[in-house]
């Protein structure tokens, strides 16, 4: 549990947020890069690679048709690294799980600088392997596909650079900038009021969040609702299970109706999946979220709520009041801008109604600019009342920079051997995608299995070249099973950090897994039996 009295965790709203100066510097750097033509050149390389890919496909070159896509891992590279290269990734997962429980290191681990130190050291081990030991070509995915060969002798700095570019520029930067934008913009909106924390009220919070997750993203919905949920439950002592179910529903399982709901579905949209196709997943979405809401209501009604003291319940009822929303201006239109930027400013797709492709990282520059407007024009008082700090997003940033780098060998191994694993049925795709999405980032995991399924013959209807039953299984596995661990999806860790800042003693890494094994796993088994 984070020490809520630690100075680093105290809500701070300085007269001039220094983040604004950082945002101004980043935007100025992007403008300078644009004047030099670098983002445009990256876009042109990407568009040219796509055109070449399309020509090869039209000519019937099966080999070329399965290559050349800048986001397809392992297109032309050599053999994947040995299994031992996954060790830094496993050690990082172990550190996340064990260090908070170790009395000697738990206080040290609370600091984001400590998390970043461990994550970066293990990332350096992975990069050192590619520099000094790996002797096979590596695929570079940014800004377009290329193959980087090892040096004839001595260190292969190019391999390490390609691995770093894949992890940071192709994956980490878009991931963390989107989370940062949703975190900061929704942090300027306050849903104020202390409803009576009955099981029905808490269930309503979870249900509304689960529905909103598909339309403003799991991160946006989580950041908007987690604080009012915590305030509503501040007079109760048994709250951890409510936050765990919040992670289950709002941070994960609610977000599969639209591509903007969760990053893996957005990757599918960029690969050619129709924007509204994900609405076809409404039946498993409804069943899973309804079952989770019912389980939560029963848990809170018959077990947790009766354990509260009569004094706490009386105080909760006495202090209850109506909800009031503040900070919608300018943050509501800015949130719409975030969604529009994510949907429209992808450099691999022409802007709707034109032949113009956005520049590389223009989307991220716009998102950062929208954050700047939120901080500049929004109410500092609203953020102060929200207890808004950057601690939670910095925790995610510190850990996931190591996760994205250390998982590169694991993704390469999976890409090379995935097709030989005997995965062909929808249920097999669901459990394979979901199992790895629990511990790897679910977006690249989704993409690997998407490409694997795309290369397989279809027995029925297809979408973007993938059998629709397999595509549904891959989509559901990536979204739903991201809830199985704290690191399965970015918002999971942010909600944990915010809850601990508020004084809630959240389950440990393994304690959370006990929740997910006992609650989520049976629900997913039923869902897979009925719909896959």
CA distances from 430 to 133, 403, 478, 479 (A): 35, 23, 8, 10
Answer yes or no: are the C-beta atoms of 10 and 16 closer than 8 Å: no
Distance, CA of 16 to CA of 52 (rounded, Å): 49
pLDDT tens string 65-78: 343 333 343 346 78
Answer yes or no: are the C-beta atoms of 267 and 174 closer than 8 Å: no
Q: Is the dihedral of CA 194, 199, 200, 206 positive or negative?
A: positive
Q: Which two tokens stand for residue 376?
A: 């500049």
Q: For each of the chain's 532 residues, which pLDDT tens digit applies?
A: 444 444 444 444 445 689 999 999 999 999 999 999 999 999 999 999 888 866 555 554 343 334 333 334 334 678 889 999 999 998 998 898 888 878 889 899 989 999 999 999 999 999 999 999 999 999 998 998 899 999 999 999 999 999 999 999 988 998 889 889 988 998 999 988 778 999 999 999 999 999 999 988 898 899 899 989 999 999 999 999 999 999 999 999 999 998 888 888 977 876 778 888 999 999 999 999 999 999 999 999 999 999 999 999 999 888 888 888 999 999 999 999 998 998 889 898 899 999 999 999 999 999 999 999 999 999 999 999 888 889 888 988 999 899 889 989 988 887 787 667 778 899 999 999 999 889 876 877 787 788 788 878 887 899 988 999 999 999 999 999 999 999 888 789 889 989 998 899 999 989 999 999 999 999 999 999 999 9
Residue that the structure tokens 């048709």 belong to: 65
Contacts of 490 (CB under 8 A, 6+ apart): 175, 179, 219, 396, 400
DSSP label at residue 103: T
Contacts of 382 (CB under 8 A, 6+ apart): 188, 189, 190, 326, 327
524: left (phi over 0), alpha (psi -120 to 50) or beta: alpha
Q: Give the predicted TM-score (pTM) of the model.
A: 0.82
Answer yes or no: are the C-beta atoms of 490 and 474 closer than 8 Å: no
Residue that the structure tokens 């998407």 belong to: 450
């Amino acid at each position: 549990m984070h020490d809520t009295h630690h100075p680093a965790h105290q809500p701070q709203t300085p007269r001039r947020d220094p983040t604004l100066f950082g945002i101004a510097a980043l935007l100025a750097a992007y403008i300078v890069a644009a004047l030099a033509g670098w983002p445009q050149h990256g876009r042109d390389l990407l568009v040219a690679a796509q055109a070449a890919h399309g020509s090869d496909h039209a000519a019937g070159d099966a080999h070329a048709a399965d290559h050349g896509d800048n986001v397809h891992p392992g297109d032309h590279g050599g053999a994947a690294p040995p299994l031992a290269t996954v060790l830094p990734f496993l050690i990082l997962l172990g550190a996340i799980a064990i260090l908070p429980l170790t009395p000697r290191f738990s206080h040290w681990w609370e600091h984001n600088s400590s998390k970043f130190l461990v994550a970066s050291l293990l990332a350096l081990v992975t990069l050192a392997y590619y520099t000094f030991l790996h002797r096979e070509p590596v695929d570079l995915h940014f800004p377009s596909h290329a193959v980087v060969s090892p040096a004839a002798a001595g260190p292969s700095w190019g391999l390490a650079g390609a691995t770093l570019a894949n992890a940071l520029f192709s994956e980490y930067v878009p991931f963390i900038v989107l989370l940062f934008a949703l975190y900061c913009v929704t942090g300027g909106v306050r849903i104020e009021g202390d409803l009576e924390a009955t099981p029905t009220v808490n269930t309503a919070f979870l249900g509304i969040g689960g529905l909103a997750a598909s339309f403003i993203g799991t991160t946006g919905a989580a950041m908007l609702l987690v604080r009012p949920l915590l305030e509503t439950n501040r007079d109760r002592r048994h709250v951890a299970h409510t936050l765990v179910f919040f992670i289950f529903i709002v941070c994960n399982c609610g977000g599969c109706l639209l591509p903007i709901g969760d990053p893996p579905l957005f990757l599918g949209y960029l690969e050619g999946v129709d924007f509204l196709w994900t609405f076809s997943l409404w039946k498993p979405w409804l069943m899973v979220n309804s079952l989770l809401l019912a389980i939560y209501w029963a848990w809170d009604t018959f077990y947790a709520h009766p354990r509260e003291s009569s004094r706490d319940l009386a105080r909760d009822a006495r202090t209850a009041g109506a909800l009031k929303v503040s900070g919608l201006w300018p943050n509501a239109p800015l949130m719409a801008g975030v969604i529009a930027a994510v949907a429209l400013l992808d450099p691999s797709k022409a802007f709707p109604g034109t032949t113009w492709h956005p520049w590389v990282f223009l989307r991220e520059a716009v998102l950062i600019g929208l954050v700047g407007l939120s901080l500049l024009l929004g109410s500092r008082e609203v953020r102060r009342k929200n207890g808004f700090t950057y601690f939670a997003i910095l925790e995610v940033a510190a850990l996931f920079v190591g996760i994205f780098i250390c998982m590169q060998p694991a993704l390469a191994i999976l890409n090379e051997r995935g097709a030989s694993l005997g995965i062909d049925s929808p249920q097999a795709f669901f459990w394979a995608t979901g199992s790895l999405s629990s511990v790897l980032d679910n977006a690249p995991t989704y993409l690997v299995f998407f490409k694997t399924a795309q290369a397989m013959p279809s027995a029925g209807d297809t979408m973007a070249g993938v059998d629709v039953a397999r595509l549904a299984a891959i989509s559901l596995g990536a979204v739903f099973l991201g809830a199985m661990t704290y690191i399965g999806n970015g918002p999971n860790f942010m909600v944990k950090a915010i809850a601990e800042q508020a004084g809630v003693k959240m389950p440990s890494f393994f304690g959370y897994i006990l929740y997910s094994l006992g609650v989520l796993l049976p629900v997913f088994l039923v869902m897979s039996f009925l719909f896959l």
